[in-house]
Amino acid sequence: MWNFSDSVHLTYLQQTLNHYRRMACNPQQDVSAELEAYRRLLPDV
Amino acid sequence: MKVSRRLHQLSEMVRDHYSHIWDCCCDHGLLGQLLLDRGQADCVHFVDVVPALMTQLEAHLQQTYSGKRWQVHCLDVARLPLSNYTQAGKPQLVIIAGVGGDLLMDLVTAICQSQPNVSVEFLLCPVYHTYKVRRALADLSLGLISETLVEDKQRFYEILHVSAAACEPVTPVGNRCGTSQIRFT
């Protein structure tokens, strides 16, 4: 499992979620599945 | 030999001994040389499509590893001749690292589809598009052996060890990256 008490893991997952949030601003790119998956993984972000 | 955290972590994830290990898109062949040093395979194969790199690497290997078994192949990774090296019951290990996720999946797909009866494990470290890579690996019915995360020069890399014989599914966002090997002193 991802270890949410490990700052390296958390940083990586948050960066990844933010990356997909930025990509989602472009309507030509469908990253809804990625966003949903990482949001579910990081429910408090 | 001084290597990056990423290459060190990749070499650490090769825990079994293999008959043949293929260091694909090997560049200067540092990972394969680590594996030669550790005696992880009967033979380590260095593969890249850049002739000048492979000529230089071959000369270096002849000087440094004359007592070890290795081969240099200047060819497209999609056309690895795995079936020429098959040994019953012994999987070969194909390592593809340092390339984008799209190319990496093209290569893995080509290998799986062209040689479906060859027993092979993959150790993969894509530079981008890990989500897509994970979905594609699952579509190829490859199962998870292990996975981890490594931080190297302020960038993150997921490393996936998969094979058709492994039963644990590859999930789209990862489910059990270890923690003990992430930071190096």
DSSP notation for A6-41: -HHHHHHHHHHHHHHHHHHTSTT---HHHHHHHHHH
Distance CA B40, CA A2 (A): 29
Distance CA B100, CA B74 (A): 20
What's residue B176's pLDDT? 45
pLDDT digits (tens, 9 = 90+) for B170-179: 999 987 444 4
Side-chain-facing half-sphere of B58: CA atoms under 13 Å:
12
pLDDT digits (tens, 9 = 90+) for B5-53: 999 999 999 999 999 999 999 999 999 999 999 999 999 999 999 999 9
Tell me which residues of chain A, numbers 5 to 44, contact chain B at a CB-CB cutoff of 8 Å.
6, 8-9, 11-12, 15-16, 33-34, 37-38, 41
What's residue A1's pLDDT? 58
Interface list for chain B against chain A, based on CB atoms closer than 8 Å: 130-131, 149, 151, 156, 172-177, 179, 182-183
pLDDT digits (tens, 9 = 90+) for A1-44: 588 888 888 899 999 999 999 999 999 999 999 999 999 888 76
Residue A10, Cα to own-chain centre: how many angstroms? 10
Please say if the pLDDT value at position B180 is more than 80. no
What's residue B183's pLDDT? 36
- By CA distance, what is B132's nearest residue in A? A34
Mean pLDDT of chain A: 88
- B107–chain A nearest CA distance, Å: 23
Average pLDDT over residues B59-67: 96
| Mutation choice for A interface testing from B6, B129, B177 by most A CBs within 10 A | B177
Q: Whose CA is closest to A19, among B14, B144, B125, B156?
A: B156
Q: Whose CA is closest to B77, among B33, B18, B124, B142?
A: B124
- By CA distance, what is B131's nearest residue in A? A34
- B31–chain A nearest CA distance, Å: 24
Q: Where are the alpha helices (DSSP H) in B29-185?
A: 30-38, 51-64, 101-114, 130-139
pTM for the complete prediction? 0.92
How far separated are the first and last CA of chain A, in Å rounded? 18
Please say if the pLDDT value at position B182 is more than 90. no
Number of Cβ pairs < 8 A linking chain A and chain B: 35
pLDDT digits (tens, 9 = 90+) for A6-15: 888 889 999 9
CB neighbourhood size of A26 (10 A): 9
